[in-house]
Amino acid sequence: MTKLAIFDLDGTLLDTVKDLGSATNYALRQCGFPERPTEDYYTLCGRGIYNLFRGAVPEGRADEDTVKKMATLFLPYYDSHKCDLTLPYPGIPEMLRKIAAAGVVPAVASNKYQDGAEKLIRHFFGDIEFIRVLGQRDGQPIKPDPAIVHQIMAMIPGITQDEVVYVGDSDVDMQTGSNAGVRTVGVTWGFRSRAELEAGKPWKIVDTAEDLGKIICQ
């Protein structure tokens, strides 16, 4: 029986790619770099904002000073515009309520910076009690390092790996769950392809939030 369901955020619970792309393009413009089409951000996002910037700037320009400048431009812009076009994927709020009502504890483990992850969860899912929302934090490894999963599991004394499921939309998520020794579920509505998910050998792959809820509660 699943007692704890840990979710990725971007591409799993929320469709954030347009707002992430818009904020990154703003930072690129301010640095004098060309913008990227929204389609590029489906593969650039998911490995933390600093890796996002390293991938978005022109080849050969991803030095640390440039990456830091991108961050100082991106963060305030994104904070003001993070909900312009972002929405939960269809059925996600209902799925979260269903699993919570069934006694499954929800949590979030994301490579989004911590403040952004917390604000988005409060804005879109304020009525749902997540045991913990963890994002990218200074001094902490990012996914696919399993530390973020283990930190969340530590909130529930006595929980075992076979009582945990990790849900995400990318190869990074499948690797994270595997590294943590928990079951993984890939969702096909996010930023990456089914083929990428299959390569990560997840426990299950689902196409709808309704099916996800059924698998978690089974």
Question: What pLDDT, on a 0 to 100 scale, did the predictor assign at position 103?
Answer: 97
User: How much is the pLDDT for 1?
Assistant: 87
Instruction: Return the pLDDT at 37.
Output: 98
Q: What is the pLDDT confidence band of residue 124, given thresholds at 50, 70 and 90?
A: very high
% pLDDT > 70, the chain: 100
Q: Which residues contact 151 (CB under 8 A, 6 or more apart)?
A: 132, 134
* Cα–Cα dist 100/31, whole Å: 45
Say which DSSP state 33 is in: P
pTM for this entry: 0.96
- Output the CA torsion 40→42→48→51 (10° steps): -30
Question: What confidence tier does 218 reach under pLDDT thresholds 50, 70, 90?
Answer: confident
Contact status, residue 106 vs residue 131, Cβ threshold 8 Å = yes
Instruction: Pull the structure tokens for residue 108.
Output: 């979030």
